[in-house]
Chain A
Amino acid sequence: MDFNDTPDEAAYRAEVRAWLATNAPKRTGRIDSGMEYPASMDDARAWQRKKADAGYACITWPKEWGGGGGASWQSVIFGQEEARFETPGNPFQIGLGMCVPTVMTVGNQADKERFVRPAARGDEIWCQLFSEPSGGSDVAAARTRAVRDGDEWVINGQKVWTSGAHYSDFGLLLTRTDPDVPKHKGMTMFWIDMKNPAVECRPIHQMSGASNFNEVYFTDLRVKDSQRVGGVGEGWRVSLVTLMNERLAIGGGAGGGHRTIFKLAQDISTLAGPATKDAALREKIADWYVQAEGLKYTRYRTQTALSRGQTPGPESSIGKVVSAALMQDMANTALELEDQFGIISDPDMAPLAASFQTAIMGAPGMRIAGGTDEILRNIIAERVLGLPQDVRLDKDVAFKDIPTGR
């Protein structure tokens, strides 16, 4: 048990720190949170290019594809050090974390040569087109139809919850190519040009007021058969390659919330006296603290496995399911403390610049995006504990015959 870097880690960290000190953008006072669009796309691209030139973009990718040729632990250390600077938002995350690795794993040689390097440099941005109105948790229920026409496919349908669709150059699109076979067998993956006029993006207005996602419509979109990623009917298998990383990427923060609540409680009275002395609040703070700290040290365990060159254990799967509920509970308690004032969401009036009012409107989305609380518990139960899948009514039925309720 040792929190210190190994000599190799320390050397790498020193190298990264020195590079960041010289090259990282200066503070502007502007803050981009993870799920927001970057305030300036130009800044984001410039920063990505700079990292790529120095071998710090896509650290674990091979050098021949524009990566850094490094190890996972190096990527973790770079991320920690980069987080100390106010770098531009990261519109590349979905492409570099999910879409482009899928192309690298499954795609043909020409696609790899065409797409991987420009994506690593931030020249081209990707989005992931999987979820549909008919299937959020049930991704394999996708109905967007691709019909073969000679050497081309014609695509019609709708995707939803697509982050960054409006500024993306390319998209990884999951389609239904054969509705006469069971759902998992009749799907095919393509890459598409997001700038094609047959593709229309409409922002989704969330309950929080923000618009972090889009609906994307396809009307007679024609793609070449060479844009296929993997075999015809192999779309589900390909999508699993993509989704493997998603649930690790979303959530995991929520540390330090107890500090903010303390800060709030210092200026607030309850009927029993100062809020900081309220026994019920103190007990809650202890509960939140052990959850947030437990997550932090769970990440350290994951990092340790990477550092030792081992595959991390399944414990990393608990991150989002804990942090999202934690965020919602803390925010609700904070509003209760603020009492009647809690309803005010004007950052100029509400305590702590309305951070708890912002959190309470964002928390429902956190509990759903990237795998709902319920789906994540299914995943832990099935993949970690080895419990059986729920009974499936749709498994051996032709897709077109599956009940849809409408």
Chain B
Amino acid sequence: MDFDFSEDQKFLKNEARKFLDARCPVSVARSVLDDPGKSFDASLWKAVAEQGWLGAAIAEEHGGLGLGGVELCAIAEELGRALAPIPFASTVYFVAEALKLAGSDAQKAKWLPKIAAGEVIGCFATVERPGVLTEGGVQARVEGGLLNGAKVPVADGDIANLAVVLAKASGQACLFIVDLEGSGVTREILQTLDPTRSSAKLTFANTPAELLGEAGEGMALAEAVLNRAAVLLAFEQVGGADKALEMAKDYALNRYAFGRQIGSYQAIKHKLADIYIKNELARSNAYYGAWALDAGAAELPLAAAAARVSACDAFWFAAKENIQTHGGMGFTWGVDCHLYYRRAQQLGLVAGGAKAWKERLVTQLERRNAA
């Protein structure tokens, strides 16, 4: 039994924390929030690329570090904790994973080295309307190698150079690689709940698109990408939830009411204990997801769903109860609580919400029970 990060992985995680403590205090996310012209922190993005993190789980032949999925999970937890305002998830968890999963040798050779080097920002463009992603909801079309249609919302769509797009060709759902520097791409930046992670509407008019993976496999591939991203996002959520708990704890220790620390009242103690319980359950479920991701296990769909459901619950609960613990100051613009509250929603929705993931989880359970 070895169900934890290894010593090497802990070292990597610790180095990542030190790096982000120095380079990405919460003021970095706040500077993106407060500046309407800023979609991400470009200097942090460059520094993260120099650390090699973008290519941590990309093979050495494609310019990466050739580490495993668990190492990427360790980095993800620290990025989540730091509320890093960079397009890491879109580029690494979605687009790089999609390329690794379904890309041809030529596609991998073309794009993965650029991702690893930080030269390309990726985005994953699937949904077009409110509600869970379904094949019937995909209106975007590719004919003769040209894409027409619109995708909204697309996380990091305003700053990406490269998109993986779900669209139909000859009536079949497929994934396509789209170079966003190509012709016919219109980007419209969206007003969202979490401006520290930007989103856009992408409109395509006869934009060149190249098939990724097999024709007709689009929905299955998108789900496979979502499963991998769900595990990695779960680590970001656990990191954010831990940080929200620390904030609540520090405040409860320093704030006095009725002559004593508010952290000495059981109403507050039990609330924080409940946050701790959810965080530890989410961490344990995320670890199992990390194992399934790294081992390429058949259990990944179930493990990913469990990791996501648990992590969405934990970060949401920690973020909202952190505000509650802070009282009136908690819902002011100047105190940082709302940055975690916003990020909890962003991470909780970006790969599809918990409700749909619960249904996926139970479907997987039924399959397993029937087998």
- Give residues in A with beta carbon < 8 Å to B: 1-6, 9, 73, 258-259, 262, 276, 279, 282-283, 285-287, 289-291, 293-298, 300-301, 303-305, 307-308, 315, 318, 321-322, 374, 376-378, 380-382, 384-391
- Give residues in B with beta carbon < 8 Å to A: 1-5, 70, 245, 249, 252-253, 260-261, 263-266, 268-270, 272-274, 276-277, 280-285, 287-288, 290-291, 294-295, 305-306, 309-310, 313, 355, 357-359, 361-362, 365-366, 369
What are 9 contact pairs spanning A and B, CB under 8 A? Answer: A3-B291, A285-B365, A305-B4, A307-B1, A318-B281, A381-B270, A387-B253, A388-B253, A388-B260
Chain B min CB distance to A139 (Å): 18
Question: By the criterion CB–CB under 8 Å, are A290 and B281 in contact?
Answer: yes
Question: By the criterion CB–CB under 8 Å, are A282 and B266 in contact?
Answer: no
A-B contact count, CB below 8 Å? 164
Q: Which residue of A lies closest to B284 (CB)?
A: A297
Chain A min CB distance to B83 (Å): 22
Q: Which residue of B lies closest to A315 (CB)?
A: B280
A390/B1 contact (C-beta < 8 A), A282-B358, A293-B306, A318-B280 known: no
B265, B272, B287, B306: the one contacting A301 at CB < 8 Å is B287
Q: Which residue of B lies closest to A290 (CB)?
A: B310
List of B residues within 8 angstroms of A295 by Cβ: 281, 284
A385/B285 contact (C-beta < 8 A), A2-B291, A259-B369, A286-B358 known: no
**Residue from B272, B281, B283, B359 having most chain A Cβ neighbours under 10 A:** B281
A9/B358 contact (C-beta < 8 A), A262-B366, A293-B306, A387-B249 known: no
Q: Which residue of A lies closest to B368 (CB)?
A: A259
Q: Report the separation of the CA atoms of residues A374 and B266 in the bound assembly, to the nearest whole angstrom.
A: 9
Chain A min CB distance to B135 (Å): 21
A290, A294, A296, A388: the one contacting B280 at CB < 8 Å is A294
Q: Report the separation of the CA atoms of residues A308 and B3 in the bound assembly, to the nearest whole angstrom.
A: 11
B1, B264, B306: the one contacting A387 at CB < 8 Å is B264
List of A residues within 8 angstroms of B366 by Cβ: 262, 276
A1/B70 contact (C-beta < 8 A), A293-B285, A381-B269 known: yes
List of B residues within 8 angstroms of A73 by Cβ: 1
List of A residues within 8 angstroms of B280 by Cβ: 294, 298, 315, 318
Question: By the criterion CB–CB under 8 Å, are B294 and A303 in contact?
Answer: no
Question: By the criterion CB–CB under 8 Å, are B3 and A301 in contact?
Answer: yes
Q: Which residue of B lies closest to A306 (CB)?
A: B1
List of B residues within 8 angstroms of A5 by Cβ: 1
B4, B263, B270, B313: the one contacting A374 at CB < 8 Å is B270
Question: By the criterion CB–CB under 8 Å, are A388 and B263 in contact?
Answer: yes
- Taking A290-B306, A387-B272 as given, write out 7 further A-B residue pairs in contact, using a Cβ cutoff of 8 Å, ordered by the A residue number: A289-B365, A290-B361, A293-B288, A293-B306, A297-B288, A380-B277, A386-B253
Top 9 A-B pairs, shortest CB-CB distance: A294-B281, A381-B269, A286-B358, A297-B284, A377-B273, A300-B3, A380-B273, A1-B291, A387-B263
Does more than half of chain A's interface fall in helix, strand or loop, or is it mixed?
A: helix
Does more than half of chain B's interface fall in helix, strand or loop, or is it mixed?
A: helix
Chain A min CB distance to B282 (Å): 7
List of A residues within 8 angstroms of B287 by Cβ: 1, 297, 301
**Residue from B266, B273, B281, B309 having most chain A Cβ neighbours under 10 A:** B273
Q: Report the separation of the CA atoms of residues A300 and B2 in the bound assembly, to the nearest whole angstrom.
A: 8
List of B residues within 8 angstroms of A303 by Cβ: 1, 3
Chain A min CB distance to B167 (Å): 30
List of B residues within 8 angstroms of A382 by Cβ: 269
Question: By the criterion CB–CB under 8 Å, are B270 and A294 in contact?
Answer: no
Q: Which residue of B lies closest to A258 (CB)?
A: B365
List of A residues within 8 angstroms of B288 by Cβ: 293, 297
List of B residues within 8 angstroms of A384 by Cβ: 273, 276
Q: Which residue of B lies closest to A291 (CB)?
A: B281
Question: By the criterion CB–CB under 8 Å, are A2 and B2 in contact?
Answer: yes
Chain B min CB distance to A352 (Å): 15
Question: By the criterion CB–CB under 8 Å, are A289 and B361 in contact?
Answer: yes
List of A residues within 8 angstroms of B277 by Cβ: 318, 321-322, 380
Question: By the criterion CB–CB under 8 Å, are B310 and A300 in contact?
Answer: no
Q: Report the separation of the CA atoms of residues A381 and B275 in the bound assembly, to the nearest whole angstrom.
A: 10
Question: By the criterion CB–CB under 8 Å, are B290 and A378 in contact?
Answer: no
Q: Report the separation of the CA atoms of residues A378 and B273 in the bound assembly, to the nearest whole angstrom.
A: 8
Question: By the criterion CB–CB under 8 Å, are B270 and A377 in contact?
Answer: yes
List of B residues within 8 angstroms of A6 by Cβ: 1-2
A294/B269 contact (C-beta < 8 A), A1-B2, A289-B361, A385-B276 known: no
List of A residues within 8 angstroms of B362 by Cβ: 282, 285-286, 289
List of B residues within 8 angstroms of A276 by Cβ: 366
**Residue from A3, A5, A289, A295 having most chain B Cβ neighbours under 10 A:** A289
**Residue from B1, B310, B369 having most chain A Cβ neighbours under 10 A:** B1
Chain B min CB distance to A230 (Å): 30
Q: Which residue of B lies closest to A303 (CB)?
A: B1
Q: Which residue of B lies closest to A6 (CB)?
A: B2
Question: By the criterion CB–CB under 8 Å, are B272 and A381 in contact?
Answer: yes
**Residue from A286, A322, A391 having most chain B Cβ neighbours under 10 A:** A286
List of A residues within 8 angstroms of B1 by Cβ: 2-6, 9, 73, 300, 303-304, 307
Q: Report the separation of the CA atoms of residues A378 and B249 in the bound assembly, to the nearest whole angstrom.
A: 14
Q: Report the separation of the CA atoms of residues A9 and B2 in the bound assembly, to the nearest whole angstrom.
A: 11
List of A residues within 8 angstroms of B305 by Cβ: 286
A296, A307, A385, A391: the one contacting B2 at CB < 8 Å is A307
Chain B min CB distance to A199 (Å): 37
**Residue from A297, A304, A305, A374 having most chain B Cβ neighbours under 10 A:** A297
List of A residues within 8 angstroms of B358 by Cβ: 282-283, 286-287
Chain B min CB distance to A405 (Å): 19
Q: Which residue of A lies closest to B70 (CB)?
A: A1
Chain B min CB distance to A282 (Å): 4
B2, B282, B294: the one contacting A304 at CB < 8 Å is B2
